[in-house]
Structure 1
Amino acid sequence: MNVGKTLFAQIMEFVPWTSFSRIVQRYSGDAGVRRLTCSEQFRVMAFAQLTWRESLRDIEVTLGANSSKLYAMGFRHSVHRSTLADANESRDWRIWSDLAAVLIRRARKLYLDEDLGLELKNTVYALDATTIDLCLSLFDWAPFRKAKAAVKLHTLLDLRGCIPAFIHISDGKMHEVNVLDILVLEPGAFYVMDRGYLDFARLFQMHQAGAFFVTRAKSNMNARRVYSAKVDRSSGIICDQAIALNGHYAAQDYPEHLRRIRFKDPQTQKILVFLTNNTALPPLTIAALYKRRWQVELFFKWIKQHLRIKKFLGNSENAVKTQIWCAVSTYVLIAIVKKELQLNASLYTLLQILSVSVFEKTEVSSALQLDGNTIDNPSDANQLNLFTF
C-alpha cells in the first residue's frame, strides 16, 4: 500500500534509482552540489512534463505553492528557477540520455510480446526524423537555414509498443540518411524507412549485417528486371520482381539483386514501389510492413503535442538536450507504469490524469484505472488514439 504518498512519488518509484546513481557517478553529476541533486533535477523535469509547465518561473511557482508536499515528492529543499537553470546548463546531458537508455531497455522487454498483426517474430523498427524549429538568435549552435535554427530528432521506433529504441539529436543541417552510419544494426530485424534513406551503399551495409530493410523507390531509379514472380493482381500487387541496378556507381554500391514490389493502394488508387532485401515474405506482408511506418509519424506528432519539447527552459545545447532526454525518459516511464500495472487506459489518458492529480494521495493503480464513467477522447483527435497499447 502507498498510503500517504502522492501520485507523483509513486510514479517516481518506477525509476531504477540504483542504476541512475551509477550513471550520475559516471559523469560526476553530483560533484560539489549543495542543492538540487541529479535525482531531484530529474524529478523537477519529470514534474514539468507531467503537469505541462512551460517556463522556469512556472515550475518554481507551482512547486512553491505545494511546499508542504515537496519532501514527500523527493525534494530536500524548495526549487528555485536559477538553480534549475544552472543545473540544466552545466550537468552533462548524457546523464539523461543514459537514463533513457535504461528505461527503454526495460520497456522493450515489457512490450516484447505485443502483436503487430503480421505473424512476424522479427523485431520491426520504423526509422525517421522530425525537426523542432528554434530561434536562430537564441540557438545559434543549431543552424538549419539562413534565418532559422532547428534540432532534429532521429528516431528508431520499435513498433511493438511504439517505444523509441534509438534517438539521436542533431542540428537541423544533418541529413536523415547520415544516421545510418551511427545506427547499431540488429541482425534479422526489419528497418522500415521512407525514400529519404535510399542510399544504396548504406543499404548494402545493412544487408551485409544480416538486417532487412523496406523502403520506397525513387521515380528516377535506374534498374533492370532480372526475374518476375507470379502474383495475384486482385490483391493489389502488380508485380514482384528481382532487379539489378544499372549505372556504374549504383551497381558498385549495391552489387546484389534487390526485390521490387509494385502495389496499388485500394483506398487511394496510388501505385507504390517498394524495395527490400527480403526474398521470403509474401509481397502483401512487405506492403503491410511499410504501412506500419506511419506509426513513427504519429509518434512525432504525439510527443510534440503532449510533451514539452517545443518550448525550452534554456538556450544552450546542453539544456536543450537535457530537456528532450528528460521528456523521452518521462514518456517511457509512463509506458512502463502502464504495462506493469496492467492499465487499460491509453498513454494520452494517463498523462491527462497525472497532469491534474500528481499531488493527490491515492493508490496509483486505482487513480489511473478507468471506470465506466470516463469520457472518451475527442473524436476529432484521432492521433491521440495511437498509444492504446
Structure 2
Amino acid sequence: MKSYQSEALLEKGIIKDEIIALSGPSANKYNSKPLRLVHFWDSTTGNQYHFLTNNTQWKASLVANIYKQRWQIEVFFKHLKQRLKVSTFVGTSENAVMIQIWTSLIGILLLKYLQKKAKYDWNLSNLVGFIRMNIFVKINIWQWIDDPFIRPPVKGENGQLQMFSD
C-alpha cells in the first residue's frame, strides 16, 4: 500500500491518497487490480469522505471533485422523484430524457419562485402537494399562495352567496 501526502494535498482538502489492494472474497471480484482510496476533508461541512476508485491517473483533488459533483446529481434526481413524483422517464432516447429533465428543472424553478414570492411560509413539498390538488381550480394564484386557507365567498348577482360557482 502506497500513501501520498504533502502540504499541497492538504490545502485542497485531500488528507491522504493511497493505492490499495483488496484481500479476501472481494479481491476476486476486482481481479486483484490496484484500487485508489482518496481521503477528503470538506471544509464547508467539516465532514471527512473516503472515495474508492480504480482510476489511478487523475489527481486526488479531481477524484474528490467528481464525486462531489456526482452527489449533487444524485440529490437532483432524488428531488425529482420525491417532490415532482417523476419515478420513470416516459421516453428513453437521449433527447426524450433531456426534454424531461429540462421540463422538470423549469417546474422546480417555477415552484421555488412561487415559494420565495409567497407571503405564507410554504414548505416546498406542501406547496407542490397543494398545487397538485388545486391544479384545475380557477383561482388567483398570487392571492392563494399568500393566504391559502382563506377563500373569498362567491357572490351572486343580487349579493347572495352561490352554492355552486361557475
Calculate the TM-score normalised by the size of structure 2: 0.52
- Cα offset, 1:270, TM superposition: 1.6
- Cα offset, 1:325, TM superposition: 4.4
Task: Give the equivalent residue in structure 2 for 1:258.
Answer: 35
- Cα offset, 1:351, TM superposition: 7.8
Q: Does 1:298 align with 2:76?
A: yes
Task: Give the equivalent residue in structure 2 for 1:348.
Answer: 107
Which amino acid in the other structure matches residue 347 of structure 1?
A: I
Per-residue CA deviations over 1:204-253 (Å, capped at 9, x if unaligned) read xxxxxxxxxxxxxxxxxxxxxx2122432122111111111133x23322
Judged with a 3 Å threshold, the aligned counterparts in structure 2 of structure 1 residues 253 and 335 are, in CA distance, closer, same or farther, namely: closer
Q: Does 1:243 align with 2:14?
A: no
Per-residue CA deviations over 1:98-131 (Å, capped at 9, x if unaligned) read xxxxxxxxxxxxxxxxxxxxxxxxxxxxxxxxxx
d(CA) in 2 for partners of 1:351, 1:334: 15
d(CA) in 1 for partners of 2:52, 2:37: 5
Q: Does 1:376 align with 2:154?
A: no
Q: Residue 2 of structure 2: which of 208, 227, 239 is its match?
A: 227
* Aligned positions of 1:1-389 closer than 5 A: 226-231=1-6, 232-247=9-24, 249-254=25-30, 255-294=32-71, 295-307=73-85, 309=87, 324-326=88-90, 332-335=98-101, 346-348=105-107, 376-379=113-116, 381=124
Which amino acid in the other structure matches residue 54 of structure 2?
A: N
Judged with a 3 Å threshold, the aligned counterparts in structure 2 of structure 1 residues 351 and 256 are, in CA distance, closer, same or farther, namely: same
Judged with a 3 Å threshold, the aligned counterparts in structure 2 of structure 1 residues 377 and 237 are, in CA distance, closer, same or farther, namely: farther
Judged with a 3 Å threshold, the aligned counterparts in structure 2 of structure 1 residues 376 and 328 are, in CA distance, closer, same or farther, namely: farther
Judged with a 3 Å threshold, the aligned counterparts in structure 2 of structure 1 residues 285 and 333 are, in CA distance, closer, same or farther, namely: same
Gaps of 5+ in 2: 117-122, 125-166
What secondary structure, in the 3-state scheme, does the structure 2 residue paired with 1:300 have?
Answer: helix
Judged with a 3 Å threshold, the aligned counterparts in structure 2 of structure 1 residues 246 and 349 are, in CA distance, closer, same or farther, namely: closer
- Confirm or deny: 8 A CA contact 1:241 1:259 kept in the other structure: yes
d(CA) in 2 for partners of 1:233, 1:263: 9
d(CA) in 2 for partners of 1:242, 1:334: 40
Which amino acid in the other structure matches residue 234 of structure 1?
A: E
- Confirm or deny: 8 A CA contact 2:4 2:17 kept in the other structure: yes
What secondary structure, in the 3-state scheme, does the structure 1 residue paired with 2:115 have?
Answer: coil
Judged with a 3 Å threshold, the aligned counterparts in structure 2 of structure 1 residues 253 and 378 are, in CA distance, closer, same or farther, namely: same
Which amino acid in the other structure matches residue 113 of structure 2?
A: D
d(CA) in 1 for partners of 2:2, 2:27: 17
- Confirm or deny: 8 A CA contact 2:2 2:19 kept in the other structure: yes
Which amino acid in the other structure matches residue 228 of structure 1?
A: S
Calculate the TM-score normalised by the size of structure 1: 0.25
d(CA) in 2 for partners of 1:281, 1:301: 30
Which amino acid in the other structure matches residue 62 of structure 2?
A: T
- Confirm or deny: 8 A CA contact 1:308 1:327 kept in the other structure: no
May I ask how many residue pairs the two structures share in their alignment? 111
Gaps of 5+ in 1: 1-225, 310-323, 339-345, 353-374, 382-389
- Confirm or deny: 8 A CA contact 2:89 2:100 kept in the other structure: no
d(CA) in 1 for partners of 2:11, 2:109: 43
Q: Which has the higher contact order (CA 8 A, sep 6+)?
A: 1
**Which protein shows a greater Rg?**
2
Q: Over the residues paired in the alignment, what is the CA RMSD in angstroms?
A: 3.3
Judged with a 3 Å threshold, the aligned counterparts in structure 2 of structure 1 residues 239 and 297 are, in CA distance, closer, same or farther, namely: same
- Confirm or deny: 8 A CA contact 1:307 1:327 kept in the other structure: no
